């Protein structure tokens, strides 16, 4: 079984393949992402935690790994992520609960 770090590396490798295939679109997408998580009245760490919550609600494991890693990079605490994941569970029920657990596991193991 792959570790979270290995899975994240695999995700990044796939994204790099897409970048090589279509640099223009991927640069635009990266620009959107960079702009969306810039520091503002909401911190970059909190914005990444919100992205984790949405990824969990949508059931996107690769997105969870990517945004958990980014949240940690921006200094998000485990406690903050747990509080945000509680909202995920409230808003998305059982499926969100399963993916929220995956997000917390990724936080603990990345």
40-91 per-position pLDDT tens digit: 999 999 999 999 999 999 999 999 999 999 999 999 999 999 999 999 999 9
b/e map 51-90, b = 16+ CB within 10 Å: bbbbbbbeeeeebbbbbbbbbbebebeeeebeebbeebbe
* Residue 1, pLDDT above cutoff 80: no
> Is-contact 109 86, C-beta < 8 A?
no
What is this structure's pTM? 0.90
Q: How many domains does the chain have?
A: 1
Domain span at residue 9 reads 4-109
Question: pLDDT confidence of 22, banded at 50, 70, 90?
Answer: very high
- Residue 27 has a pLDDT of 97
What CATH number is associated with residue 14?
1.20.1290.10
């Amino acid at each position: 079984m792959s570790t979270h770090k290995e899975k994240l590396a695999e995700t990044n490798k796939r994204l790099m393949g897409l970048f090589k295939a279509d640099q223009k679109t991927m640069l635009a997408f990266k620009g959107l992402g960079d702009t969306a998580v810039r520091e503002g009245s909401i911190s970059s760490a909190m914005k990444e935690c919100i992205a984790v919550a949405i990824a969990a609600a949508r059931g996107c494991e690769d997105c969870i790994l990517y945004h958990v890693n980014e949240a940690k990079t921006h200094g998000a605490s485990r406690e903050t992520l747990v509080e945000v994941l509680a909202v995920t569970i409230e808003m998305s029920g059982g499926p969100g609960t399963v993916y929220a657990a995956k997000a917390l596991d990724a936080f603990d193991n990345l």
